[in-house]
């Protein structure tokens, strides 16, 4: 109660102040502007120095022949590195793997995440317990989860391998891809579910009731009322997860190290830098991955009309 009166009491004071600021872009406004810039400066400087500058540097590196074993022979060679990467079978295999993993895991996550979100939204009993437990996959270190899956599928060690008659899925291409997708889905479905659940909370209960009164079945209510209203939340969740899945690295590195042709583009970039020690080719791959991610983001925001998160912020 007292807080309320205080708020009201403050109003008449703040109104004239705001008016004064508007009339003359004067001391007050200028000071506010300056303070805004000063407060943002450290964050902006760090982000520019550690993200923007290296990307430009990496474009520069990608135009050179630069082998770490022969650093003296570094030489500007134009777009040859890109030519080498784009005409290489390894790039396209890695690209294909990455696309398969991204599409399949994001589709499964959307379906599973929606089911999870509905369970969390509707359930009354044990809601806290469910939310707590699904945060575990989100929070757990990816490497740890990946080891858990790897050991589970290792013949004679793992319970899952034993369950499926001493299966060794990590030793063949498609089965290994399936395990990678399983690990990815397990780890990231909770995040998807939480975003979707927050979207569900925005669907007014009244609309559901009205549709029910009009005789809509549960499925009709879901597809005709809930889904259209959730479209923005779904698109944001899909955008986040697609961009995230496209840079998959940890799971593959631990599960197969890219063996049996399961490498993603990130694995390929890493191998070119740390195994082949080729900075030029590695940088070209980095830049290409960056371009892919930019295209995905652009498609989602312009193509599907996903509101870029934060765009409504003022």
Partner 1 sequence: MASTTKEKVGWSTANILVVLFAIIPVLWILSLSFKDPSSLTDGSFVPKDWTWSNYKGIFKTSEFTRALVNSIGIALISTFVAVLFASMAAYAIARLRFPGKSVLIGMSLLIAMFPAISLVTPLFNIERNLGIFDTWIGLIIPYITFGLPLAIYTLSAFFREIPWELEKAAKMDGATPFQAFTKVIAPLAAPGMFTTAILVFILCWNDFLFAISLTSTLRARTVPAAIGFFTGSSQFESPIGSIAAASVIITIPIIVFVLFFQRRIVAGLTSGAVKG
| Residues between 289 and 308 with contacts to partner 1, criterion CB under 8 A | 289-290, 293, 297, 307-308
The yes or no reply on residue 236 touching partner 1 (CB under 8 A) is yes
Contacts of 179 (CB under 8 A, 6+ apart): 149, 153, 169, 170, 255
**Member of 24, 123, 217, 224 binding partner 1 (CB under 8 A):** 123
CB 116 within 8 A of CB 190: yes
**Angle at which helices 89-122 and 227-246 pack, to 10 degrees?**
140
Question: What letter does residue 154 receive in the DSSP assignment?
Answer: S
Number of residues that bind partner 1 (CB under 8 A): 109
| Shortest distance in whole angstroms from residue 229 CB to partner 1 | 12
Query: Quick check: helix, strand or coil at residue 35?
Result: helix
Instruction: Show contacts with partner 1 in window 161-190 (CB under 8 A).
Output: 161-162, 186, 190
Q: How many CB atoms lie within 10 A of CB 300?
A: 20
C-alpha span between 168 and 171 (Å, rounded): 6
| Shortest distance in whole angstroms from residue 104 CB to partner 1 | 18
Q: Which stretch binds partner 1 (CB under 8 A): 82-90, 100-108, 168-176, 281-289?
A: 281-289
Q: Are strands 64-65 and 75-76 parallel, antiparallel or unpaired?
A: antiparallel
The yes or no reply on residue 250 touching partner 1 (CB under 8 A) is yes
The yes or no reply on residue 91 touching partner 1 (CB under 8 A) is no
**Member of 15, 20, 55, 295 binding partner 1 (CB under 8 A):** 55
The yes or no reply on residue 75 touching partner 1 (CB under 8 A) is no
The yes or no reply on residue 94 touching partner 1 (CB under 8 A) is no
Query: Quick check: helix, strand or coil at residue 65?
Result: strand
**Member of 16, 69, 72, 128 binding partner 1 (CB under 8 A):** 128
| Shortest distance in whole angstroms from residue 177 CB to partner 1 | 19
The yes or no reply on residue 70 touching partner 1 (CB under 8 A) is no
Q: Hunting for tokens 């961009």 — which residue is that? A: 243
**Member of 1, 16, 19, 43 binding partner 1 (CB under 8 A):** 43
Instruction: Show contacts with partner 1 in window 129-168 (CB under 8 A).
Output: 129-145, 147-149, 151-152, 156-159, 161-162
Q: Computed over its alpha carbons, how large is the radius of gyration of the chain?
A: 26
Taking the least distance from each CB to partner 1, the nearer of 17 and 214 is: 17
Q: How big is the chain, counted in residues?
A: 314
Query: In sequence order, what DSSP letters do the residues of 163-180 get, joined into one string?
Result: HTTS--GGGSHHHHHHHH
């Amino acid at each position: 109660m007292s807080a309320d009166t205080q708020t009201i009491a403050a109003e008449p004071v703040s109104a004239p102040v705001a008016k004064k600021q508007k009339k003359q872009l004067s001391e007050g406004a200028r000071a506010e502007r300056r303070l805004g810039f000063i407060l943002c400066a450290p964050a902006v400087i760090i982000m520019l120095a550690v993200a923007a500058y290296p990307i430009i540097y990496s474009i520069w590196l990608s135009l050179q022949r630069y082998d770490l074993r022969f650093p003296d022979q570094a030489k500007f060679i134009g777009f040859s590195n890109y030519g080498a990467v784009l005409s290489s079978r390894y790039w396209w295999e890695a690209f294909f793997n990455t696309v398969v993993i991204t599409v399949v895991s994001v589709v499964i996550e959307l379906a599973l995440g929606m089911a999870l979100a509905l369970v969390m939204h509707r359930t009354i009993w044990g809601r806290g317990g469910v939310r707590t437990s699904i945060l575990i996959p989100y929070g757990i270190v990816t490497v740890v989860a990946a080891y858990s899956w790897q050991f589970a599928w290792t013949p004679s060690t793992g319970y899952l391998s034993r369950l499926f008659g001493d299966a060794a899925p990590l030793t063949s291409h498609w089965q290994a891809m399936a395990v990678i997708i399983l690990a990815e889905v397990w780890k990231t479905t909770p995040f998807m579910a939480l975003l979707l659940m927050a979207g569900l909370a925005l669907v007014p209960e009244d609309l559901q009731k009205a549709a029910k009164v009009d005789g809509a079945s549960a499925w009709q209510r879901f597809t005709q009322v809930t889904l259209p209203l959730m479209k923005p939340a779904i698109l944001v969740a899909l955008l986040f997860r697609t961009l995230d899945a496209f840079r998959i690295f940890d799971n593959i590195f631990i599960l197969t190290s890219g063996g049996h042709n399961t490498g993603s583009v990130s694995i390929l970039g890493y191998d070119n830098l740390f195994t082949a020690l080729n900075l030029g080719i590695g940088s070209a791959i980095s830049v290409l991955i960056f371009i892919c991610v930019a295209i995905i983001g652009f498609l989602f925001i312009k193509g599907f009309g996903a509101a870029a998160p934060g765009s409504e912020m003022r």
